[in-house]
Amino acid sequence: MAGGKMRKEKPSRNPSNHFQGGVSFHKSKGQHILKNPLLVDTIVEKSGIKSSDVILEIGPGTGNLTKKLLEVGKMVIAVEVDPRMVLELQRRFHGTPHNSRLKVIQGDVLKCDLPYFDICVANIPYQISSPLTFKLLAHRPLFRCAIIMFQREFAMRLIAQPGQNLYCRLSVNTQLLARISHLLKVGKNNFRPPPKVDSSVVRIEPRKPLPPVNFKEWDGLIRLCFNRKNKTLGSIFRQKSVLSLLEKNYITLLSLNLPQNTSSEENKIPVEVAALGEVDGEDPSMEIEDGRDDDDMEMEDNDAEVLKSDFKEKVLGVLKQGDFEEKRSSKLTQVDFLYLLSLFNKAGIHFS
């Protein structure tokens, strides 16, 4: 300024933070806000929202997507864990015609009870992708569909088909419960702050009715098969640990003289479906290939102290009956796994 001293600009205290409307975003919390209005419009358009729909939005942030959802749906229920974002949402829509049709729930979406909704549209924190997917699929009553932004590799695992490299336990479990389709790829520069990875939007439509299967049994089988998905089922079911586990279940059921029910009771289904997303400290989309030879893991025929040879032959007989002994989990469909499970159950062999 002429005739005076030059005023120095004060350095930002948080140079790495990104702002919108005075609110800073934290990458550590998965806060990546969609900044491209054309992309927001495309997501809403592909969602197929009806004017009578109650919409669930997870992680609304500052409300860029929320505003568009309110324009096309009957009501938006927004679940947000960050109290700062909750205040920003309330400030943004206060005094507008949309305010009465917006309900904000402050809390962790994985821990809170979700109300009724017709459709879910969300740009979620990527670290909750797996548990959130199965929580939604366990929700009752079932919703029509969910349109969700995932990290691209996770999305590709959801839609992977038998024989593809990314086909895994996650693929099998989600496709058993829902029809999943890829809608569009989203580059990292469409977000503020930009994440380190690209994203994808997928459509999830729950199957109605669900397959008549005991989901605990199903998950027990799938966990075993995909622990080493590129090995033959014959080599997997010759493993000492696998045979010992199955024999223990077999003897327990015989001693109780109680048949294992292979169909889930209606009131147990949501709990069992949600459990399919449990990771036990591992990413359910990843399988372990430990590099050991199959022979190192197999049960020796003369190891009578651990397992009777007739039970081993019983297990292998099931595989031979269904022509599964030389097949690999990475190539099997949901129908194949359902058939394999039914064969084991008919032989009195169970996985839970």
pLDDT digits (tens, 9 = 90+) for 71-82: 999 999 999 999
Tokens of 255: 């001693």
> Which CATH number among 3.40.190.10, 3.30.565.10, 3.40.50.150, 3.40.50.300 corresponds to the domain 21-206?
3.40.50.150
Residue 23 has pLDDT above 80, yes or no: no
Residue 225, CB half-sphere, CA atoms under 13 Å: how many?
Answer: 31
Q: How far apart are CA 207 and CA 142, in angstroms?
A: 9
Whole-prediction pTM value? 0.82
Q: How far apart are CA 202 and CA 150, in angstroms?
A: 8
pLDDT of residue 31: 57
Residue 148 dihedral angles phi and psi, to the nearest 5°: -130, 140
pLDDT of residue 308: 58
Q: How far apart are CA 116 and CA 104, in angstroms?
A: 14
Cβ count within 10 A of residue 88:
20
Tokens of 159: 């839609």
> Could you tell me the pLDDT band of residue 54, with boundaries at 50, 70 and 90?
very high
Least confident range of 90-94, 267-271, 333-337: 267-271
| CATH topology classification for 213-256+304-351 | Helicase, Ruva Protein; domain 3 (1.10.8)
Residue 13 has pLDDT above 60, yes or no: no
Between 233 and 278, the higher pLDDT residue: 233
Alpha-carbon distances of 105 from 58, 102, 141, rounded to whole Å = 10, 10, 19
Q: How many helices (H) and strands (E) does the chain have?
A: 13, 11
> Could you tell me the pLDDT band of residue 254, with boundaries at 50, 70 and 90?
confident
pLDDT of residue 130: 96
pLDDT of residue 15: 43
> Mean pLDDT across the stretch 204-227?
93
Least confident range of 36-45, 90-99, 296-305, 318-327: 296-305
What is the average pLDDT score of the chain?
84
Q: How far apart are CA 325 and CA 316, in angstroms?
A: 7
Q: Domain map of the chain by residue range? A: 21-206, 213-256+304-351
> Could you tell me the pLDDT band of residue 267, with boundaries at 50, 70 and 90?
low
pLDDT of residue 150: 96
Residues annotated within the binding site are: 32, 34, 59, 80, 108, 123
DSSP state of 232: B
> Mean pLDDT across the stretch 320-336?
97
> Could you tell me the pLDDT band of residue 33, with boundaries at 50, 70 and 90?
confident
pLDDT of residue 178: 97
Task: Read off the pLDDT of residues 293-314 as tens digits, 9 standing for 90 and up.
Answer: 444 444 444 444 444 578 999 9
pLDDT of residue 300: 46
**Cβ distance 137 to 271 under 8 Å?**
no
Residue 114 dihedral angles phi and psi, to the nearest 5°: -90, 135
Residue 204 has pLDDT above 80, yes or no: yes
Q: How far apart are CA 73 and CA 270, in angstroms?
A: 27
Tokens of 26: 């934290």
Residues annotated within the binding site for S-adenosyl-L-methionine are: 32, 34, 59, 80, 108, 123
- Helix, strand, or coil (residue 182): strand
Residue 5 has pLDDT above 80, yes or no: no
In terms of residues, how long is the chain? 352
**Cβ distance 100 to 255 under 8 Å?**
no
Residue 68 has pLDDT above 60, yes or no: yes
Q: How far apart are CA 200 and CA 181, in angstroms?
A: 11
Task: Read off the pLDDT of residues 114-169 as tens digits, 9 standing for 90 and up.
Answer: 999 999 999 998 899 999 999 999 999 999 999 999 999 999 999 999 999 999 99
**pLDDT > 70 in the chain, percent:** 80
297 exposure class (CB count in 10 Å sphere: 0-12, 13-18, 19+): middle
- Helix, strand, or coil (residue 343): helix
Same fold? 21-206, 213-256+304-351: no
The torsion of the CA quartet 215, 218, 224, 226, rounded to 10 degrees, works out to -100
